[in-house]
Amino acid sequence: MPGPPAVVAAETRNTGKSDMYPIGVVSLFAELIDPVAQHGVVGRACERGLIEILHESPRAFTSDRHRTVDDRPYGGGPGMVLCYEPTRGAIGALRQRLPAGVRALVLSAQGRAFDGALAAELARAPGLLLVAGRYEGLDERIIEAEELEEVSVGDYVLSGGELAAAVVIDAVARLLPGVLGHEESGMRDSHMDGLLGYPQYTRPEVIDGMAVPEVLLGGNHERIRRWRLKLALGRTWRRRPDLLRARVLNEEERELLDEYRVESASADQNS
Ligand code: 9D3
């Protein structure tokens, strides 16, 4: 049931509420970001006026007959480069509609790695301006003149910045006041922060010979809490030791992780 586009042209901006978080997006392909703004947590935040996503295309700021937005790179080489004038035109139009002090980012494979700490910083800003490149990138002078911060979403090559912009929008929106319901936000500031998730199960109790762990059926909430914390610690230790090194463990957590290690060592011997 896709409704009207949630990513709207910049001139159709709503009346700005004080608790509204505006996000400007410069992109040639707003259609790639729109699904994120139409569904789930971000979709509801848009509907409720907690965030607003404004879009401008560099295409609208061309003056030649062919609406040229890109050109060949100086020095030669493959691909095309987004041109200075149309891109700055789109950025300028959005800046007029955004408050002073927005964080201005360009999504780029050459950027600093996006993570939860940066998402939290961005959520504390009065709004966000995201520039999504296509082709081989944008003319470097756009980044310099607009003082854009270069941000990457991971070490792999995408075809453009739009999906990365959608990732940033989703991660930031979840941290804005009022965006998550009580149940969801309760999960956020829990003691499991900075750890991978624990295993989840739902009905039926046994399927294809695989049973739900006994502890989860008993209703002993303290045992369940400790089992989940142990599994979260164990998985993080095995899969993401970098996350564990960045986190201080309390005494209970150290004990539970030691238990996990002992149990997984004896399990290794059995296999
Ligand atoms: C070395 C020449 N190019 C590789 C084909 C560099 C390059 C240009 C353009 C690499 C990627 C892109 C398009 N990617 C993005 O715009 C992008 C991105 C990414 O590719 N990976 C992770 N995060 C991001 S944010 C934007």
Peptide bond into 58 cis (omega under 30): no
- Cα dist. 111→12, 53, 146, 151 in Å? 31, 23, 16, 4
Q: Does the fold of domain 206-270 match that of domain 21-173?
A: no
**Protein residues whose CB sits closer than 6 Å to any atom of ligand 1:** 107-109, 133, 136-137, 152-154, 156-158, 160-161, 164
Q: Which CATH architecture has domain 21-173?
A: 3-Layer(aba) Sandwich (3.40)
H/E stretch holding 64: none
What sign results for the dihedral spanned by CA atoms 217, 222, 227, 232? positive
Contact 75, 55 (CB under 8 A): no
Interval 16-31 mean pLDDT: 91
Return the pLDDT at 268: 79
Q: What is the pTM of this model?
A: 0.93
Helix, strand, or coil here: 43?
Answer: helix
Task: Identify the CATH class of 206-270.
Answer: mainly alpha
Given this model, what pLDDT does residue 270 score?
56
Structure confidence by residue, pLDDT tens digits, 152-180: 999 999 999 999 999 999 999 999 999 99
Mean pLDDT score, 24-48: 96
User: Is 189 a residue whose pLDDT tops 50?
Assistant: no
Instruction: Tell me the best of 28, 33, 105, 108 to mutate to test the pocket of ligand 1, counting ligand atoms within 8 Å of each CB and taking the most.
Output: 108
Structural contact between residues 98 and 22, judged by C-beta atoms closer than 8 angstroms: yes
Q: What token pair was written down for 92?
A: 């300028």
Distance 81 CA to ligand 1 centre (A): 12
Other beta carbons within 10 Å of 213? 12
Ligand 1 nearest atom to the CA of residue 164, by list position:
25
Q: Structural domain boundaries of the chain?
A: 21-173, 206-270
Q: Answer yes or no: is pLDDT of 144 > 90.
A: yes
pLDDT greater than 70 at residue 190: no
Assign 101 a pLDDT band (cuts: 50, 70, 90). very high
